């Protein structure tokens, strides 16, 4: 007695054919095949065997056995024996108890699916049963077509367990999988054994092998998948699964219509975004948008989604924010302002300016919201340098003095760029209210220009806390960049380098705006030159090309290039810094504290022997510093003026310039030893 067993597509039929081909020498071969469609038709297989022997199948079982034994020597080959009918099984069992009387071999092929026929054949209730040899064929590599065919010959219990495992995706414990499949422990264990035999489940850990889940889900109808996933979600919620596992199941399930589902998805999206897995986080948030929510709640999800899409879909992120900004409704005031804040901080002037203009036309804006949006609008215009159409402002100018905290922060920044000393008081009052992040960063910028370094750092730290709490990656990166700049002014080089690295990690190159990239580049070049790494600074300029021929982006790019040129080509550096100054003045930025281009250009002129030009720039800087009126900055200006006047000309200038940055940035911060 031989049994060839193996899952569908493992080659059982081919093995039987090879056996049949080797039957020779007067030995008779009878080969029949059972069918799943005739497994309930009485004596189907037996009738095929008796027809081959020319006998009537309606005779008693003992006589039918004798007919076959009298035809020996004989090999009986039965393919797909798992589908044999009951009468044929009883006859075969009776034959197996008698084949020791004659040279007869029986070869069965079964799938190991645990059908009724296989269970009956496995029963051993007679000592006369011949030795039973089993040849187990290995399961084939899973493929979707094979698995789909296998599903048609599996029992209902096996299919239910397989579907439950496919839907759960390894997120459920065994008891929950059994519950989803509707099986008790005994039937689930038997089904698991059969699935292992089919090669659909791993032997060591009960999980589906590669490709099986996809094939099983593909064989289900859309309604079947949706219903089973909905059951899985509710079962997981009742079992209090963790956020990670629940979010994995929710991501594929249809909308639940419950608040907890959206909160689970949002919470796990924050965890993924913090780990840098923003694409996965965005997928969860897109799924969260399918849950029922009011306009304000939906807007919160859209803003969170936009922050995640900065890495891989910045245009889509802009559209999300604009959608929130243009949504009307009494509860939308807060979300609208947050969306406008993120847009303004992104420094994508064309998108943000037009979006805020349209939002300001909403009739249901509160007065405070209107003033805040107006302040953000003028910040965007100030950074971009874009005038209103035909010289007529679309949005009214900021009031003087501004009452709204957002307007105060923006007005302080604009006044500080122009070098007006009134800006410091405005910036301080703007920071007294913890509102939108962009104007607070602008106000902190003002304090840093006024050499109020400790106050500026306190403001930056507050923005970092609020920015991380609300997931505003752009604001966090901008705050890191500003903190790097302040610490450089203090001479805290190591801490400044750490801040620059954190800003880069927060906002990778692919999702930075041109202005952010240019400012980052300038700070990186300063740090490299402070370390004496001139070649690395030159390489950074090549690595970070910025395609802009005008505006603040171009000014910062020129400033970075001038810093590198100052060491080797002072005259070229002077021309570069003068062009940088022209771009800044075109934007109304005359405050020498924003960028010290005049002093650096003066150093280049002195090195080139143009002392008159250099002295004129030094005098202009000192006059503007007096007009700016910040005591700390005024003291720094006078020290720098003395340093520049000591700049030698000729060949000694290069050595002086090479040691300039380490000398400047290694100085102790005020109040530090």
SS (H, E, C) 80-117: CHHHCCHHHHHHHHHHHCCHHHCCEEEEEEECCCCCHH
pLDDT, position 393: 58
Q: What are the phi and psi torsion angles at 3 (to 5°)?
A: -125, 125
Dig out the tokens for 580 from the structure: 């940088």
Q: Does the pLDDT of residue 668 top 60, yes or no?
A: no
pLDDT, position 126: 56
- Considering only 64-73, 110-119, 226-235, 283-292, which range has the smallest mean pLDDT? 110-119
Longest dimension (CA), the chain: 128
Task: With residue 581 as reference, give the H or E element that holds it.
Answer: helix 570-586
Is 585 exposed, middle or buried (CB count within 10 Å of its CB: 0-12, 13-18, 19+)?
exposed
Quick: pLDDT tens for 353-394: 889 989 998 888 889 999 999 999 999 988 876 554 445 457
- Considering only 158-172, 174-188, 546-560, which range has the smallest mean pLDDT? 546-560
Select from 582, 97, 235, 267 the least CA-distant residue to 227: 235
Is 554 exposed, middle or buried (CB count within 10 Å of its CB: 0-12, 13-18, 19+)?
buried
Q: Does the pLDDT of residue 667 top 50, yes or no?
A: no
Length reported for the chain? 673
pTM over 0.85: no
pLDDT, position 670: 35
Quick: pLDDT tens for 428-482: 999 999 899 999 999 999 999 999 999 999 999 999 999 998 888 899 999 999 9
Q: Does the pLDDT of residue 123 top 80, yes or no?
A: no
| Confidence at 666, pLDDT banded by 50, 70, 90 | very low
| Confidence at 649, pLDDT banded by 50, 70, 90 | confident
Alpha helices in 32-77 (DSSP H): 44-53, 61-70
How far, in Å, CA of 464 to CA of 441, rounded? 10
Quick: pLDDT tens for 485-516: 999 988 888 999 999 999 998 887 777 888 89
Select from 114, 69, 116 the least CA-distant residue to 90: 116
Cα 617 to the center of its chain, rounded Å: 50
How far, in Å, CA of 292 to CA of 298, rounded? 9
- The DSSP string of 304-359 is HHHHHTTTT-HHHHHHHHHHHHT--SGGGHHHHHHHHHHHHHHT-HHHHHHHHHHH
Residues near 415 by beta carbon (within 8 Å), at least 6 away in sequence:
422, 423, 426
3-class secondary-structure state, position 421: coil
How far, in Å, CA of 550 to CA of 573, rounded? 18
Quick: pLDDT tens for 513-533: 888 989 999 999 999 988 888
3-class secondary-structure state, position 574: helix
Quick: pLDDT tens for 203-237: 666 778 767 888 888 888 999 999 999 999 999 99
């Amino acid at each position: 007695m031989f049994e060839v067993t193996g899952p569908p597509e493992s080659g059982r039929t081919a093995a039987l054919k090879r056996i049949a081909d080797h039957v020779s020498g007067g030995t008779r071969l009878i080969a029949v095949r059972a069918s799943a469609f005739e497994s309930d038709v009485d004596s189907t297989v037996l009738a095929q065997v008796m027809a081959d022997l020319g006998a009537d199948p309606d005779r008693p079982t003992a006589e039918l056995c004798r007919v076959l034994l009298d035809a020996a020597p004989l090999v009986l080959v039965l393919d797909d024996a798992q589908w044999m009918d009951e009468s044929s099984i009883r006859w075969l069992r009776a034959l197996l108890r008698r084949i020791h009387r004659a040279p007869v071999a029986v070869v069965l092929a079964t799938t190991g699916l645990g059908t009724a026929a296989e269970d009956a054949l496995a029963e051993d209730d007679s000592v006369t049963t011949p030795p039973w040899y089993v040849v187990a064929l290995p399961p084939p590599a899973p493929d979707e077509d094979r698995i789909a065919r296998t599903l048609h010959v599996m029992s209902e219990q096996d299919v239910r367990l397989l579907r439950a495992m496919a839907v759960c995706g390894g997120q459920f414990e065994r008891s929950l999988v059994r519950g989803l499949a509707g099986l008790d422990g005994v039937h689930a264990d038997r089904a698991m054994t059969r699935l292992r035999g089919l090669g659909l489940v791993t032997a060591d850990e009960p999980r589906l092998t590669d490709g099986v889940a996809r094939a099983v889900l593909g064989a289900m109808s859309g309604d079947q998948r949706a219903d089973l996933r909905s059951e899985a979600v509710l079962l997981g919620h009742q079992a209090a699964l963790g956020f990670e596992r629940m979010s994995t199941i929710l991501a594929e399930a249809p909308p639940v219509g419950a608040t907890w589902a959206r909160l689970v998805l949002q919470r796990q999206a924050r965890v993924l975004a913090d780990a840098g897995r923003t694409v996965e986080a965005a997928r969860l948030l897109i799924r969260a948008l399918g849950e029922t929510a009011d306009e304000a709640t939906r807007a919160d999800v859209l803003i969170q989604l936009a922050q995640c899409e900065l890495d891989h879909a910045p245009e889509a992120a802009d559209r999300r924010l604009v959608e929130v900004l243009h949504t009307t409704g009494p509860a939308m005031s807060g979300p609208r302002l947050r969306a406008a804040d993120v847009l303004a901080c992104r420094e994508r002037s064309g998108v943000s300016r037009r979006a805020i203009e349209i939002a300001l036309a909403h009739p249901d804006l509160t007065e405070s919201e209107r003033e805040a949006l107006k302040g953000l609008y003028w910040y965007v215009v100030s950074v971009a340098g874009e005038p209103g159409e035909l010289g007529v402002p679309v949005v009214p100018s900021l009031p003087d003095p501004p009452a709204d905290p957002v307007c105060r922060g923006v007005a302080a920044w604009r006044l500080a760029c122009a070098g007006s000393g009134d800006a410091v008081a405005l910036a301080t009052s703007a920071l007294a209210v913890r509102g939108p992040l962009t104007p607070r960063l602008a106000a902190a910028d003002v304090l840093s220009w006024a050499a109020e370094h400790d106050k500026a750092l306190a403001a930056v730290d507050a923005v970092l806390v609020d920015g991380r709490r609300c997931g505003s990656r752009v604001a966090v990166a901008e705050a890191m960049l500003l903190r790097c700049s302040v610490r450089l002014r203090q001479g805290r080089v190591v801490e400044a380098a750490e801040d620059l690295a954190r800003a880069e990690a927060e906002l990778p190159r692919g999702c930075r705006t041109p202005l952010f990239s240019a400012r980052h580049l300038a700070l990186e070049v300063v740090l490299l030159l402070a370390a004496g790494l001139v070649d690395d600074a030159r390489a950074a300029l090549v690595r970070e090309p910025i395609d802009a021929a005008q505006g603040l982006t171009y000014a910062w790019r020129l400033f970075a290039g001038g810093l590198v040129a100052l060491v080797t080509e002072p005259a070229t550096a002077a021309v570069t810094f003068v062009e940088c100054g022209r771009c800044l003045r075109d934007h109304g930025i005359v405050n020498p504290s924003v960028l010290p281009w005049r002093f650096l250009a003066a150093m280049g002129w002195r090195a080139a022997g143009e002392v008159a030009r250099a002295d004129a720039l030094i005098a202009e800087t000192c006059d503007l510093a007096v007009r700016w009126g910040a005591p700390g900055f005024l003291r720094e200006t006078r020290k720098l003026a003395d340093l520049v006047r000591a700049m030698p000309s000729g060949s000694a200038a290069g050595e002086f310039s090479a040691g300039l940055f380490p000398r400047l940035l290694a100085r102790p911060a005020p109040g530090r030893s």
